[in-house]
């Protein structure tokens, strides 16, 4: 997989052979959703298989959960393969309480065949306008 160059501290993307791994970090709230939605929509359109790795998130609110559901729905409607990787108990609980487990199908670990796209970046919390 190759790293897709970008200067965004909240989104790291690796892609190869139609498989894309997009790793998010920071706080997935209204501000970050507005920042990321156009890029995630483009990834959804261009990918045969999209893995969204949200293990780098420190927070997710209802707006963030709505973005995840939007991405999952669009990927599945296009016939592409969807995978969500999340290991934070608070976000997994939010997914369960919102009854989105079937749509999002979270997994706690990135499969071995996919490289980790998220390098460590301490202290990133929200985008700068």
Model confidence pTM above 0.85:
no
Give all domains of the chain, ordered by start, each with its CATH number: 2-107 (3.30.750.24)
pLDDT for the residue numbered 117 = 59
DSSP 67-98: HHHHHHHHHHHTT-EEEEE---HHHHHHHHHT
pLDDT for the residue numbered 123 = 46
pLDDT for the residue numbered 115 = 58
pLDDT for the residue numbered 9 = 86
- Per-residue pLDDT 10s for the chain (129 aa) are 454 555 678 999 988 777 899 999 999 999 999 999 999 999 999 899 999 999 999 999 999 999 999 999 999 999 999 999 999 999 999 999 999 999 999 999 987 776 565 554 444 444 434
pLDDT for the residue numbered 128 = 39
Distance CA 69, CA 95 (A): 10
Distance CA 18, CA 11 (A): 18
- Provide φ and ψ at 22, rounded to 5°: -115, 120
């Amino acid at each position: 997989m190759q790293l897709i160059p970008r200067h965004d501290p909240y989104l790291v993307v690796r892609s190869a052979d139609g498989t894309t791994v997009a790793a998010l970090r920071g706080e997935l709230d209204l501000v970050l959703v507005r920042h990321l939605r156009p890029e995630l929509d483009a990834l959804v359109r261009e990918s045969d298989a999209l893995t969204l790795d949200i293990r780098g998130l420190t927070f997710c609110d209802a707006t963030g959960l709505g973005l995840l559901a939007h991405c999952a729905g669009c990927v599945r409607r296009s016939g592409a393969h969807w995978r969500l990787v999340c290991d934070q108990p608070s976000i997994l609980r939010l997914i369960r309480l919102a009854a989105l487990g079937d749509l999002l199908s979270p997994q706690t670990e990135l499969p071995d065949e996919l490289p980790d796209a998220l390098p460590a970046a301490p202290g990133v919390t929200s985008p700068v306008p």
